[in-house]
Chain A
Amino acid sequence: MTQTSDQAGSAAGTGQDAPGIADELLGFLAARTKSTWEHDQDLFAVGGMSSLFAMQLVVHLEKTYGVTISGADLMLDNFRTVDAMVRLVHKLGGSRASAGATAGE
């Protein structure tokens, strides 16, 4: 899952474009759950994902976008929809490039 992108040219903190993150997350969800999801769909509504899957999302975001999710950010509402996760990655300044840089340490 580690991104080995070496596009370190993107300025730190500027983050990645939202459609790119949303597409990547929708692809991740489709691959993991074998079903398709909408960007604004509640993943944890009745019949949806379990709380144990939520931690898989946390780890996925951390690895893919080089962010650390802790404190008040570590709440289920931030992972409830793809849109919410995109907002969180933006807020934390995450990008695939920063994940590559972190992985190289």
Chain B
Amino acid sequence: MTDNTDSTDNNAEDPLVVVGAGVMGTAIAALAVGHGHPVRLIDHSPEACAAAPERIELHLRTARMMGALPAGGRLGRLTTAGTPDAAAGAAAVIEAVTEDPGEKAAVLAELAAAVRPGTLLVSNTSGVPIEEMAGAVPHPEDLVGVHFMNPAYLIRTVEVILGPRSGAAAATAVRELLAGLGREGIVVGDGPGFVTSRLLHRMLNDAIEVVREGRAGPETVDALMRHCIGHRTGPLATADLIGLDNLADSLRVLHERTGDAAFRPSELLLEKVRRGELGRKSGRGFYTYDYEEITP
């Protein structure tokens, strides 16, 4: 809950505001800080705010090691805050809270009330239709979707979603924002799961069903998909990386909106979430991550 604003800051650039200090929020904050932009990270949890600087430092070291940051570039300043009114004065806002359409809409409404009209509002979502959230903000033309991949500071390509009411100015602003973050945006139309999650999530869910049925274990499914099909990570390892709670939430969003049974979260997935086995971030999912205390 610190807001260590520094009056000696010679960085006149308005901060990029990132909301939600979870897996995606801290990674997006690291991406922006690593590209020299000041970032204000907002989370209502004091614990999440307190833990964020160290998590972001770990992300930055990983990014540096992989050569994913501009060489010799200086870092942007990171500040944290506990309430949405801290979004005032933002250059742009990226909402990265839980993949729950109601919560996203509520947070976006609070953020929209804090910023100047015309400020770019981005929802980082893997599948909630932008049009659904547009109804919650006073200026829907300012809202676009960006689906950052995890880890956001390593994967250069992102999915950009322009909803029916997204404005031309916002489309330009998001292109500039992404250019400043060294990302390449690929623009698609709106709808549940957009393109990537619509295609990927049914495959991940089905891979989990294969494991549940006992036809093959996670290692076997992943080995086949990697070595025969050329999937780089394997579906179960990908599910663990996404976070199983997030995957279940995203599948629910897709299932409710499409009625497609392939999106109904596998019982095995739900069971793992109930047991707190959330994938890489909790140390256990379809695999075990025996990694001391440092899970970026």
8 residue pairs A–B, Cβ–Cβ below 8 Å: A52-B151, A54-B62, A54-B65, A55-B65, A55-B294, A58-B65, A59-B294, A75-B65
Residue of A nearest to B292 (CB): A1
Binding site for A on B (CB under 8 A): 58, 61-62, 64-67, 151, 154, 226-227, 233, 280, 290-292, 294, 296
Cβ–Cβ < 8 Å partners of B61 in chain A? 55, 58, 74
Chain A interface size, under 10 / 10 to 19 / 20 to 34 / 35 or more: 10 to 19
Residue of B nearest to A76 (CB): B65
Interface centre among B62, B64, B67, B280 (most CB of A within 10 A): B62
Bound-state CA distance A92–B150 (Å) is: 32
Q: What is the number of contacts between chain A and chain B, taking CB atoms within 8 Å?
A: 42
B290 touching A55, Cβ below 8 Å: no
- Shortest distance between the CB of A24 and any CB in chain B (Å): 15
B67 touching A55, Cβ below 8 Å: no
B65 touching A74, Cβ below 8 Å: yes
A56 touching B65, Cβ below 8 Å: no
B280 touching A52, Cβ below 8 Å: yes
B292 touching A56, Cβ below 8 Å: yes
Residue of B nearest to A44 (CB): B66
B291 touching A32, Cβ below 8 Å: yes
Cβ–Cβ < 8 Å partners of A47 in chain B? 226-227
Cβ–Cβ < 8 Å partners of A60 in chain B? 292
A32 touching B296, Cβ below 8 Å: no
- Shortest distance between the CB of A36 and any CB in chain B (Å): 16
Cβ–Cβ < 8 Å partners of A58 in chain B? 61, 65
Cβ–Cβ < 8 Å partners of B62 in chain A? 51-52, 54-55
- A31 within 8 A of partner (CB): yes
B296 touching A52, Cβ below 8 Å: yes
Whether A31 contacts B65 in the complex (CB less than 8 A), given A47-B226, A47-B227, A52-B151, comes out as: no
